[in-house]
Structure 1
Amino acid sequence: MSISIDNIVLELKKLLTDEQVSVNLTVRELHSKDESYHEASLPDIVVFPKNTDEVSQIMKLANNYQIPVVPFGRGSSLEGHIIPYDNGITIDFSLMDKILEVRESDLLVKVQPGVTRTQLNKELKKYGLFFSVDPGADATLGGMAATNASGTTTVKYGVMRDQVRDLEVVLADGTVMHTGSLAAKSASGLHLNGLFVGSEGTLGCFTELTLRVYGIPEFTTAARAVFPTVQNAVEAVTSILQAGIPIARVELVDEESIRQVNHYNDMNYAERPTLFLEFDGNEAGLKQDVEFTKEIMEDHGCEEIQFETDNTARTKLWDARHNLAYAYIHGNVGKKMMITDVCVPISELAEAVIFARKELHSNGLTGGITGHVGDGNFHSIIMIDMNDAEEVAKADKYNEKIVHYALERNGTCTGEHGVGIGKQKYQALEHGTALQVMEKIKIALDPNNILNPRKNVNIGDSGE
C-alpha cells in the first residue's frame, strides 16, 4: 500500500504533536549514521514518542502502509545498526528517558529505553547500587539491550542479556507484550528475554526494561601490569581466572596502542603489552586477592606492576584504556576509525591477538589491538582514509581475515558490537542451518519486514 511522505507526516501528526514529527534535514542527517565507517542514509521522517502507546500507534501506521522503521538510541553503535538504508521512519527514544522504579530490595530497576547508563548510575548511587554493563560509550539502555552490549565488566558481571529480567516490547503490528517477569528465574515457556536482547531492532521496539542492579562494592583496587609479550599477558589472565580470583575488569592494550596513549595523554608508560585490571569486594578479601594476583603475574614474567586504591588515581590509571579510541582519532586526523570485534575461546586468545597484530603490520595499516581478555573478546582499532579506495579495501580484507580466524576456532564474528550491516555477510558461515530458524522467527514477528530491514537477521540472506 503506497502513500506519499507528506501524507505519512500528516498521519503521524494526528498521533503525535507537530514537535514530535520532523522532516528537517539536519535532524534527518543526525539520524542517518552511527559511529561506524558505514555509509550514511537519510530517514524520510524522524519521530520522538513519549510513551508506549505512541510507539504502538506509530508501528500500527507503519505496518499498515509497510513503511520501514528503525529504532534509534544515541547513535553510538559500531556496525551500522541504526542507518536507515530503506529510508522510512526513524523512532528516536530520547524523550522516553524516565527511571520508572527502583526496587532496591529486589535489586531491580525499571527504566524507559532512552535512559543512559550514566544517568541510571547517578540515580542508583543514592541507593548504594550500580548498573554493571559498561560498553564505554554513554549509550541508552534500550540500545544496549538491542545489541546485547557488554564491555570491560563482563568478566565478572556478564553481558546485557544477563541483566535483563523483563522487556516491554512493541511488535511490528503495534502489539504490546512483555518478555519476562520480576522473578529471578522461571521454567515457564520459551526464553523471550534471550530472543529479543540482541535482536537489534529487527523484532520489536523496546519501551520499558527491567534490569538487575548490584550493591556498590565496599572497596576497589585498580592495577596496571606490563609484560614482555602478549603471550605472557594473556597466560597471566588465564591463570588468574583459573585460580578463582574474582577480577572485575581485565583489559589488554598492545604496545602500539600504549604509544598512542602516551602521545595523546602526555604520559610515559612503558610501550609494552599492558594489562589494566580492577578488583572489587570487601577490603580484607581483596588484599588476599591482590597478593595472589601479584604472585601469578610474576610467574608469567610481569616486568612492572602498579596498584591504585584512591579514586582519582584509579580513574587516571584507567584513562589509558577508556581514551584509547580518542588517542587514535586525535593521532590520525582526517581518518575514520574501523573497529574489529571477534571473540574466541580464551585458550586461543594469545595466538589470535598475535595473528591480528602480524596481519595489521603486513598490510601496512595504522592501528593497534585491545581486548577484554577475561572473556576472549578483542578489537583491532584501524584508522582509515576513506578517500583511499586501496586502504579501505585492505582494511575490509583484514577484518575478514580476523573474522575467519575466529570462526575457524569456533569463535564468533562479533563479541559485543553486534551484526548490523557490517557483520551480516558472516552470519551463514557462523550459524549454518540455525540462521534459517532465526529468519523464520523474524518472518513470524514481522511478516512485512518493516523493522530495521537488511540488518542482523536479513530475510532471504541465509545463503541457501
Structure 2
Amino acid sequence: MALEQAVEALETLLGARISVKRPDREAHGTSEAWYPLTPPDAVVWPQNTEEVSAILKICHREGVPVIGWGTGTSLEGHALAVKGGIVLDMMRMDKVLEVHPEDRLVRVQPGVTREALNADLRTTGLFFPVDPGANASLGGMAATRASGTSAVRYGTMRDNVAALEVVLADGRIIRTGSGAVKSSSGYDLTALFVGSEGTLGIITELTLRLHGQPEAVSSAVCAFETLEAAVETVQTTIQMGIPMARIEFVDADIARVFNQINGTHMPEKPHLLIEFNGSESSVAEDSRRFGEVVAEMGGADFQWATTTEDRNKLWKMRHAAYSSCIASRPGSIGLLTDICVPISRLAESVERARAMIDVEGLDGPILGHVGDGNFHAILLVKHDDPEELRKAQKIGHDLAEMALEMGGTITGEHGIGVGKRGLMADEHGAAWGVMGEIKRALDPKGILNPGKVVPDGENA
C-alpha cells in the first residue's frame, strides 16, 4: 500500500480538503456502538462526483483502502477503517438537486440528511418516509439498506430508491435505475448497491421515491400486562389488514427508562406505540378497529396523541430510547442486537430473547419495529467490564442463531459491518461466497471498505 504517494496526490487534488490531523482522524474512527476507536490514515471531503472519481482512481492505483462516511450513526462498525486507508466524508455533497412532484421523485446528493430533505419538501405536499430514528445521511441509509419505524407501511430503502449514481473502485462513474415506475431491463444494479455498505462502490447521487403527506395522522400508546399480549396484538392487527404507519414495541424496562429520563408516567409494563396515516375518515376507522383489538387483548392506559406536538413528543421519546437506556446506567456502553423473524414467530422470539438476557444477568431492555418482525435488545455493559461484554456478545450471537432457526435473518436494518460478518455463512451458505465473487469482480484490488460484509480471502 503506497499510502504516502496517495496522500501526496490527494493533497494536490484537494488542497485543504484532506487531513491527516489526529482530531479529524479520530472523529472518523468512532461509531455509535461499542467498537473501539479505529482512526483512518487520512480523511478527505469531496464536493462532487468528479472529485470522488479522481480520489478513487488515485487510491485504486496505489492500493489504498477507501471507506465512505456519512453522519457516522451506524451500529455495526460499517465505516471504521479496520485496515487503514482513507475515509471519504460525503457530507459536503449535501444538495437537493431536483424535485419532480408530478413523478413523486427527488434527486439528491448523498450528504443530504433525512430531516433536511423533508424540510425542503414541506411545501410540495410530499415527504420521504424512511425513518431510522437518527438523522442519517441518505447516502448512508442507502448503503446500509436502512429502514425504521415507518417501514411497516412505506417499506425500507430498498423500496424507496429508484436510481443511483455510483463511482466504482477504479473511478468509473455509472448510473443505475431510472425514473420509471418499473423496469425489466437487465440486472437490478440499484438493488445490488443498496445495502452493499460501501464495499462495491461509492454512492454519489440518489433518486428517491416520495409519498403524499397524509391528510390526517393519529398516534397512540397503550400498556399490556404481558410482553406476549402486546406482541400478539401486533400479529392480530396485521392479520386483520389494519394499515398501520408505525407500530413499535417497548418492554417494561424501557417504559421505566422513559419515565426516568423524560418525566413521563407510563405504567412499568410492555407498551405498543402506533400511528395511523390517511384521510380523516380512514384514520378514525383504523383507530377504532385497533382499539377493539387492544381491548380484546387486555390492553389498558390507552392514550391518543392527535396534535402534532404530542405526536412529536411520543416519537422523539421512542427514537431516543437507545441513548436514554445508555444514560440510565451511567458508565455503560450499548451492544444493540438486531434480528428479524417471520411475524408468526414474533411472540416466541421476544420471549426467548428475554429469557436469554435474564439467564446472563444483564440489563437488556427490548424494543423494536414489531410490525415487520424486527426487534432489538439494548444490552447495557460497563465499559470497563470485559466479562459483561463477553456475555452481551454471546447473547447477540445466540439471538442471531435463533432468528435463523425461525426462518428469519441476523439483521433487519442495522446491516453487517464488522459486527455480524462472522454470521453470514450461517445465513447465506454458498450464496455468501457468491457475494465475495461479485465483490472481486467490481473491486479486484479490494480497496472499498475492506474487512466488511464479504468472506475473508483474496482481496476480500
TM-score normalised by structure 1 residue count: 0.97
The structure 2 residue matched to 1:12, chosen from 5, 10, 13, is: 10
2-structure distance, mates of 1:135, 1:291: 28
Aligned equivalents of 1:274 and 1:109: distance in 2? 36
- SS of the equivalent of 2:371 reads coil
The equivalent residue for 1:402 is 399
CA contact (8 A) 1:419 1:455 kept: yes
Q: 1:435 to 1:4 in 2, by over 3 A?
A: closer
What is the number of equivalent residue pairs in this alignment? 459
Cα distance, 1:319 vs structure 2: 3.6
Structural mapping, 1:293-304, within 5 Å: 293-304=290-301
SS at match of 1:167: strand
Q: Are the equivalent residues in 2 in contact too, given 1:47–1:92 (CA < 8 A)?
A: yes
Contact 1:202–1:452 under 8 Å retained in 2: yes
1:3 aligns to what? 2
The corresponding residue for 2:285 is: 288
Matched letter for residue 154 of structure 1: A
User: Which of 110-119 and 231-240 deviates more?
Assistant: 231-240
Q: Is the 8 A contact 2:94 2:108 kept in 1?
A: yes
State yes or no: 1:128 paired with 2:115: no
Letter in 1 for 2:104: L
Q: Any residues of structure 2 matched to 1:222-237 within 5 Å, and which? A: 222-237=219-234
Alpha-carbon deviation of 1:459?
4.1
1: distance between equivalents of 2:389 and 2:383? 6
Q: 1:4, 1:187 → 2: CA distance?
A: 43
CA contact (8 A) 1:443 1:459 kept: no
Paired with 1:323 and 1:403, the residues of 2 have a C-alpha distance of 24
User: 1:279: Cα distance to partner?
Assistant: 0.2
Counterpart in 2 of 1:119?
116
Secondary structure of 2:219 counterpart: strand
| TM superposition outliers: structure 1 runs of 4+ over 4 Å | none
SS at match of 1:306: strand
User: Do residues 430 (structure 1) and 421 (structure 2) align?
Assistant: no
Q: 1:396: how far off?
A: 0.7
Q: Which residue of 1 aligns with 2:19?
A: 22
Give the letter aligned to residue 10 of structure 2: L
90-99 or 304-313, which moves further after superposition?
304-313
In the TM superposition, what are the counterparts of 1:348-363 in structure 2 within 5 Å?
A: 348-363=345-360
| Secondary structure class of the residue paired with 2:407 | coil
Deviation of 1:362 after TM superposition, in Å, equals 1.6
Cα distance in 1 for partners of 2:381, 2:231 equals 28
Alpha-carbon distance, 1:318 to partner: 2.8
* Contact 1:172-1:203 at 8 Å conserved across structures: yes
Shift of the 181–459 alpha-carbon distance from structure 1 to 2, 3 Å rule, reads: farther
CA–CA separation in structure 2 for the residues paired with 1:40 and 1:319: 29
What is the 5 A alignment of 1:53-452? 53-452=50-449
1:257 touches 1:367 (CA, 8 Å); kept in 2? no
Q: Counterpart amino acid of 2:448? A: L
- SS of the aligned residue for 1:434 comes to helix
Question: SS of the counterpart of 1:223?
Answer: strand
* AA at the equivalent of 1:301: G
- Contact 1:262/1:268 (8 A) holds in 2: yes
Please tell me the residue identity of whatever aligns with 2:112: V
Q: CA deviation at 1:412?
A: 0.6
Give the aligned residue type for 2:2: I
**One-letter code of the match for 1:443?**
R
Contact 2:3 2:62 in 1 (8 A): no
**What is the rounded CA distance, in whole Å, between the counterparts of 1:34 and 1:126 in structure 2?**
35
CA distance in 2, matches of 1:272, 1:449: 49
Letter in 2 for 1:331: S
Instruction: Find the aligned partners of 2:89 and 2:249 in 1 and give their Cα distance.
Output: 35
Structure 1 residue 42 and structure 2 residue 42: aligned?
no
Structure 2 CA distance for partners of 1:427 and 1:4, relative to 1, 3 Å: closer
Task: State how far apart, in whole Å, the 1-side matches of 2:159 and 2:329 are.
Answer: 37
Of 262-271 and 52-61, the range deviating more from structure 2: 262-271
**1:340 and 1:375 mapped to 2: Cα distance?**
16
Unaligned segments of structure 1, at least 5 residues: none
Amino acid at match of 1:268: H
Write the distance in 1 (CA, Å) between the matches of 2:392 and 2:456.
28
1:95 alignment partner AA: R
Deviates more, 1:314-323 or 1:372-381: 314-323
Contact 1:442/1:459, CA 8 A, preserved across alignment:
no
Give the counterpart letter for 2:34 in structure 1.
Answer: Y
One-letter identity of the residue aligned with 2:243: P
| 1:367 Cα deviation after fit | 2.2
User: Following the alignment from structure 1 to structure 2, what is the Cα–Cα distance between the partners of residues 222 and 34?
Assistant: 32
Separation of aligned partners in 2, 1:407 and 1:317: 33
Letter in 1 for 2:210: V
Distance 1:344 1:4, change over 3 A: closer
Which shows bigger deviation, 23-32 or 385-394?
A: 385-394
2:386 & 2:2 partners in 1: Cα distance?
Answer: 39
Q: CA deviation at 1:320?
A: 3.4
| One-letter amino acid of the counterpart of residue 347, structure 2 | A
The one-letter code matched in structure 2 to 1:150 is: S
Q: Unpaired segments of 5 or more residues in structure 2?
A: none
Could you say if the C-alpha distance between residues 319 and 181 of structure 1 is closer, same or farther in structure 2, counting changes exceeding 3 Å? closer
1:458 to 449, 455, 460: 455
1:4/1:269 CA distance change after superposition, 3 Å: closer
Is 2:248–2:367's contact at 8 Å kept on the other side of the alignment? Answer: yes
C-alpha deviation, 1:4, in angstroms: 4.5
2: distance between equivalents of 1:436 and 1:314? 46
Query: Identical aligned pairs, as a percentage?
Result: 48
